[in-house]
Structure 1
Amino acid sequence: MTTLVGVDAARGRRAARAGWWSRWAGLAFVAPFLVLYLWLMIYPLVSGVIMSFQYKDLLSGTSEFVGFWNYEDLSIDPIFIGSIFNTLRFVILTVPAFVVLGLLIALALNRPTRGAAIMRTLFFGPHVLSVTVVTLIWKTVYLPNVGMIDAGSTALGLGPLSILLNPDWALAAVALVTVWWSIGLPMMLFLAALQQVPQDIYEAARLDSASPLRILWTITIPSISKMIVLVAVIEVVLQFQVFGQVNLLTGGGPNNTTRSMVMFIYQAGFQQWQAGYAAAASQILFAIMLVAAGLQFWVSRKPAES
């Protein structure tokens, strides 16, 4: 009996050591990711929040706790308030276009033909270009007097339009560039979702003499509704961070009508050297992005749950 008890105790100790080792071995495997995540994500996020409550001058190195002073100053800064509305307008101009046009292009090119493959490549091609290359291409289109648009309008007797210099059209022109540049990603995501829909459902609908529009509304869109939500949320987050094309095409003009929130943060932090002020603006941008993405997700999910 004593021998059996000793054997059981030894087995229990070995099992405990094996369980301890398996737990620490698992932690060792995820430790590199955790370290990088804490270093590159959590630490900058916490540092930015702390910095937003400070007066921090990067040029002189001055740092002083000022509480909510940065946020109070931003609330009455007309340029910052204008950048919020400009960014919201830009999101409204681009996100529906990404969802609708991306889905329409995906529907048109969702077929196993060589022509469709070539067209998918052409639509996705601009997405791999840098923002500098894209803006250089479109500057030749938008240049006053000698650009493609102004040359065409002059030939038609309308005179030069100078779109990028027009406060009413400049932001829409930047939105057009953005959609042309990035429509490839929504298209590919929708194509991936469409190819997961079982074909026998479509065959059954055609046997019942369902029209293409009815098939679209009753089969296709419900089947890829999760991807529609995902694309909308991704584009909301991305377009709230618009900076490169605005900076290179218009510089925030004319009359601050295209100045985005990220451009305001960049100028406050790296041109005026007011890091605390820029950090406070970035926290407001983060909060707006969080609310907008959450609201989009909630609105899109609510009909399906009811």
Structure 2
Amino acid sequence: MADRLTMPQTAMPAAGVRTPSADIYAPQWRNFMFVAPFLFFFTTLLVFPLLWGMWLSFHKADTFSSGNFIGLGNYVRLFHDKVFLQSVWNTFYFVLLTVPTLALLGLFLALCLNRRTRTAAVLRTLFFSSSVLSVTIVTLIWRIVFIPNVGLLSTIYGWFGATAPAFISDPSLAMIGIAIATIWWCIGLPMMLFLSALQQIPQDIYEAAALDNASRWQTLRSITLPSIKRTFILVVIIQIVLQFQLFGQAWLMTRGGPNNLTKPIVLYIYDTAFRRWDLGLGAAASEILFILILIAAMAQYLVTRSRGDQT
């Protein structure tokens, strides 16, 4: 009995109180295992090639060796290369043709098709269906449309006794023809993004505007456009990043011609690195393309954001 009284008593937890686990303050390194697969592929397929490309751009490299370190020599060669400078202009010209058109036309289609009717649903499907096609199918369709004399466009013009524009062979129209094919191909994504944003706007706001006898233009300017401002910025940035990477349409429709007037930067990189095997020069061109995309996207974001803050 005395031994039982002298035994140390341990404090019993109160009812309903959970005691902390012994390793609650242990390092949570095991959480890393959940993101390890993603980090592996992200590092292998994105970070490592980016760093390797930067390293190659400072070397005289070919397929078989990294060559000697030449510093900024590849970049100096690029800015003395008229074909590269022409490809930079071609890319900017293509972006100016496609990005504003895709943003504004996508918004227009979304406003027109933001209705719960069967006709609107069918039209949304039709406009989005082109987005699932491959670039090969898209260029094949538009080559059939643009082909001189026997193409669909020439046939339609022939009905009226006119001559169709030579969108593939005319130097002043070739890039416009590629832009038309690209807009037809890519219009589905901006339209769906704008439709998603429009459907998130509360209907109570529109009902209140209707009670105040607001016109459609006033409703669009004061309610709809401010509500989808962030989506508009997102669409523009996405399209800038995508259209700067023009390659398949230019390669399959015109091969960069005539006279390199439709050769974009990515096609120049392909010709330089994988046809002429000058990997150092191609890597330098790819780094310049990366910087141009980054500057264009950030400038668009900052300008649009500053305008939004002022309003």
Q: TM-score range by the shorter chain?
A: over 0.9
Select which of 20, 39, 50 maps to 1:34: 39
> Between Structure 1 and Structure 2, how many residues are aligned?
299
Structure 2: stretches of 5+ with no match in the other structure: 1-7, 13-19
Contact 1:171 1:258 in 2 (8 A): yes
**Counterpart-to-counterpart distance in 1, 2:242 and 2:110:** 20
Q: Which has the higher helix share?
A: 1
Corresponding position of 1:182: 186
- Opposite residue 68 of structure 2, the aligned amino acid is E
- Opposite residue 50 of structure 1, the aligned amino acid is W
Answer yes or no: is 1:54 the counterpart of 2:24: no
Structure 1 segments, 4+ long, off by >6 Å, are: 3-7
The 3-state SS of whatever aligns with 2:260 is coil
Select which of 20, 23, 33 maps to 1:17: 23
Corresponding position of 1:10: none
Contact 2:250 2:264 in 1 (8 A): yes
Q: What do the CA deviations read for 1:187-243 (whole angstroms, capped 9, x no partner)? A: 000000000000010111111111111111110000010000000000000000010
Map of 1:1-306 to 2, 5 A cutoff?
17-20=23-26, 23-58=28-63, 60-61=64-65, 63-306=67-310
Percent identity among equivalent residues? 47
The 3-state SS of whatever aligns with 2:53 is helix
Corresponding position of 1:11: none
Report the more deviating stretch, 159-168 or 274-283: 159-168
Report the more deviating stretch, 101-110 or 142-151: 142-151
- Opposite residue 48 of structure 1, the aligned amino acid is G
- Opposite residue 165 of structure 1, the aligned amino acid is S
Q: C-alpha displacement at 1:164, in angstroms?
A: 0.8
Contact 2:103 2:232 in 1 (8 A): yes
Q: C-alpha displacement at 1:15, in angstroms?
A: 5.2
**Counterpart-to-counterpart distance in 2, 1:195 and 1:222:** 14
Q: C-alpha displacement at 1:303, in angstroms?
A: 1.5
Sort the Cα spacing of 1:199 and 1:77 in 2 relative to 1 into closer, same or farther, 3 A.
same
- Opposite residue 57 of structure 1, the aligned amino acid is D
**Counterpart-to-counterpart distance in 2, 1:87 and 1:297:** 20
